[in-house]
Structure 1
Amino acid sequence: MEKKLIGVDLGGTTIKFAILNEQGEIQQKWSIDTNILDEGTHIVPDIVASINHHLSLYKMQPEQFIGIGMGTPGTVNLEKGTVIGAYNLNWKTTQNVKQQIEEGTGIKFAIDNDANVAALGERWQGAGNNATDVVFITLGTGVGGGIISNGEMIHGLGAAGEIGHINVQPNGYLCTCGNHGCLETYASATGVVRIARDMAEEFAGKSTLKQKLDDGEEISSKIIFDLAKDNDVLAKNVVGRVCYYLGLTCANLSAILSPKYIVIGGGVSAAGKFLLDQVTDYFQKFAFPTVRTSTKLKLAELGNEAGVIGAASLALTFK
């Protein structure tokens, strides 16, 4: 009988679970709320309880599983299976996640950073087409990423794949990391709005976006992209600047890594082809000639399922 995988995607508000077969097809999925009270001490026991409850519900035994994989915010020690510094989970001290989950479920457990895990998901079952060399960039509240080279996730000494903190504008916007000019400050959902506010101050023409900003209306990156699609001049200028920084980043990553695909995901990527085409234009302008043709930029395909699918793939190492 074919053994199964469990994928867990741990987020600040929701914990998503899935049972998959070895081919990466989701067979069952569910979610629970993330209880971050009491310094996040409920999170791991809740994960264990939810897995055990669903195995009982589906009349399944721990022996039927190759393993459990999980993606988490924070700094992960891969070998020890510990996490520290996941502040949106209230995890300020080291959490012995692997030990607790293996003891609680009787199933082998592997863990990695959530952006890395989403990259693995897109590479395995999404836009990465299971290629050996794939870069994943996720554009959300921040900008994250994951780098797969020669079929292996790149960790370096722990901070590899921090694409959001590539410097794209020396002495630019102040980032939450303390540096100035990180990609995250320009291409995240909040970064797009920040650019819009700055550019609106210097804009003198007719623009619905400028009107909304001047009137103090709540603006989102989606509103800005929608207005740009409707030919609002200021919104188009804002989107152009965001795509410039993304295209520049993709060109530089490609010069170093020469990946088959750079996959762009996260909430901001919902702008779709409108975003991708402009980023690709800048990529073509800045890229090393060889990688202009060998690297292809694509939109992510898995949406919210990238995390659980990628997490489950971690467990394949136990085969």
Structure 2
Amino acid sequence: MMMVEKKWFIGVDLGGTTIKLAFIDYYGEIQNKWEIPTDKSEEGRHITTHIARALDDKMTELDLTNERFVGIGMGAPGFIEMDSGFIYQAVNIGWKDFPLKDNLEMETGLPVVIDNDANIAALGEMWRGAGDGARDLLCITLGTGVGGGLISSGAIIHGTNGMAGEIGHITSISEGGVQCNCGKTGCLETIASATGIVRTAKDTIDAYSEGLLHKIKEITARDVFDAYRSGDAHATEVVNITTFHLGLAIGNLANAMNPSKIVIGGGVSKAGDALLTPLKKEFEKFALPRVKEGADFAIATLGNDAGVIGGAWLVKSKLMQKS
């Protein structure tokens, strides 16, 4: 039998536009990575076939067989039954009551572990990224939506039916908030996501006719942070609103779980210190003194690789004892 350290893992990160795949070694180093488009036709029924085919083609190209791999760790959006890898619903993909784990195992001939996409990004950052091996970690992804992963004592918290870590759906505005895709109103996602930041900028723009953002036809979250760095009053108001709500949510979460690292990822995190500096100030208003002392903020470092590396960690931590 091949030595354990010589065996590799397969990480798969399913997004609404692309599926990222990687072969990753025992130590978390990516050996090969590539991506394929996400085919959402016919309610996403072809996705597992396309993943299996892509893996098969890459193994043939590199002269590898299933024997080289312990298994597949995959992150998927939506509501997941963790043990069975059954997807109750993934709105952006089209899946409803979809047996993802069973289908993928049948089509690849390899064991499969499934988790939420935000959770595997958090695991990736813990293992090889900004988490720096921290065993108590709060990871927040600010992209088109707001995702999160809660890691306690080195393990993802799933909750009773897989819904733990839905940070984006913490209620930030109790009355008069914007409708969220989840059906509720006033969710953190409607404010702190890239979409939410742009919405706040548009909603407040009339009061700043001389502002830098007034001159931009299609405002992006990046435009807001660029204008903020220039001292623009309108952009400053938008960043203050965003970081207030985000800092309040993170402060409350930190009081509940006492993390040593708070990792901020996703496209909005590219703002770097323009986001972190005002965010830390807001966080410090709401976190207990000892919680604040224990928590270091960091910008995620793995970018698009976080999901596939987290998928590999899933396999390492869940399947190694069986291999």
TM-score range, shorter chain: over 0.9
1:194 correspondence with 2:188: no
CA offsets 1:54-88 (integer angstroms, 9 cap, x no match): 11211112122111100011111121122131122
Partner of residue 304, structure 2: 304
Question: 1:175 aligns to what?
Answer: 180
Tell me, yes or no, if the aligned pair for 1:140 and 1:267 is still in contact at 8 Å: yes
Cross-structure match for 1:126: 129
Q: Is the 8 A contact 1:63 1:107 kept in 2?
A: no
1:273 aligned partner: 273
1:161 to 155, 165, 173: 165
The equivalent of 1:8 in structure 2 is: 12
Structure 1 residues 37 and 204, CA, compared in 2 at 3 Å: closer, same or farther? Answer: closer
Q: CA deviation at 1:211?
A: 4.4
User: Is residue 7–residue 19 contact of structure 1 (8 Å, CA) maintained in 2?
Assistant: yes
What is the distance in 1 between the residues matched to 2:56 and 2:159? 35
Q: For residues 234 and 111 of structure 1, do their structure 2 counterparts lie closer, same or farther at Cα, with a shift above 3 Å needed?
A: same
Q: TM-score, normalised by structure 2?
A: 0.93
Unaligned runs of 5+ in 1: none
The percent of aligned pairs where both chains have the same amino acid is: 47
Please say if 1:286 is aligned against 2:286.
Answer: yes
Mapped contact 2:228–2:274 kept (Cα < 8 A): no
Provide the secondary structure at the position in 1 that maps to 2:97. coil
- For 1:3 and 1:290, locate their aligned partners in 2 and report how far apart those are by CA, in whole Å: 42
Aligned length: 313
SS in 2 for 1:110: strand
Pick aligned residue for 2:189 from 162, 184, 188: 184
- How far apart are the structure 2 equivalents of 1:64 and 1:102? 16
1:69 is paired with a residue whose SS is strand
Cα distance in 2 for partners of 1:293, 1:40 equals: 46
Contiguous gaps of at least 5 residues in structure 2: none
CA distance in 1, matches of 2:181, 2:87: 20
1:73/1:114 contact within 8 Å kept: yes
CA positional deviation for 1:205? 6.4
Say which SS state the counterpart of residue 225 (structure 2) adopts: helix
User: Which is further off, 55-64 or 42-51?
Assistant: 55-64
Aligned partners of 1:42, 1:205: CA distance in 2, in Å? 50
Distance in 2, matches of 1:42 and 1:77, equals 21
The 8 Å contact of residues 84 and 95 in structure 1, kept in 2 or not, is answered as yes
Give the aligned residue type for 2:80: V
Aligned to 1:318: 319
1:45 aligned residue: 49
Shift of 1:96: 1.8
Instruction: Give the structure-1-normalised TM-score.
Output: 0.95
Which one of 40, 45, 66 corresponds to residue 36 of structure 1? 40
| 1:104 aligned onto 2:107 | yes
Give the alignment of 1:55-74 within 5 angstroms.
Answer: 55-74=59-78
Deviation, 1:198, is 2.0
Code of the aligned partner of 1:266:
G
Q: Give distance in 2, aligned partners of 1:182 and 1:101.
A: 33
Letter in 1 for 2:140: I
Q: Which amino acid aligns with 1:5?
A: F
The amino acid across from 1:226 in the alignment is D
**Alignment-derived partner of residue 21 in structure 1:** 25
Confirm or deny: 8 A CA contact 1:5 1:66 kept in the other structure: yes
Offset of residue 206 of structure 1: 3.0
Q: Deviations over 1:80-116 (max 9, x none)?
A: 122131122121x322222222222221110011111
Distance 2:57 2:86 in 1: 24
Q: Distance in 1 between matches of 2:256 and 2:236?
A: 30
User: Relative to structure 2, which stretch is displaced further, 172-181 or 278-287?
Assistant: 172-181
**Offset, 1:128:** 0.6
Amino acid in structure 2 at the alignment position of 1:125: R
Select between 19-28 and 79-88 the one with higher mean Cα deviation. 79-88
Does the 8 Å contact 2:48/2:107 carry over to 1? Answer: no
The one-letter code sitting in structure 1 at the alignment partner of 2:242 is V
What CA RMSD, in Å, does the superposition of the two structures yield over aligned residues? 1.3
Q: Helix, strand or coil for the counterpart of 2:20? A: strand
What is the deviation of 1:204?
A: 5.0
Q: Distance in 1 between matches of 2:200 and 2:100?
A: 39
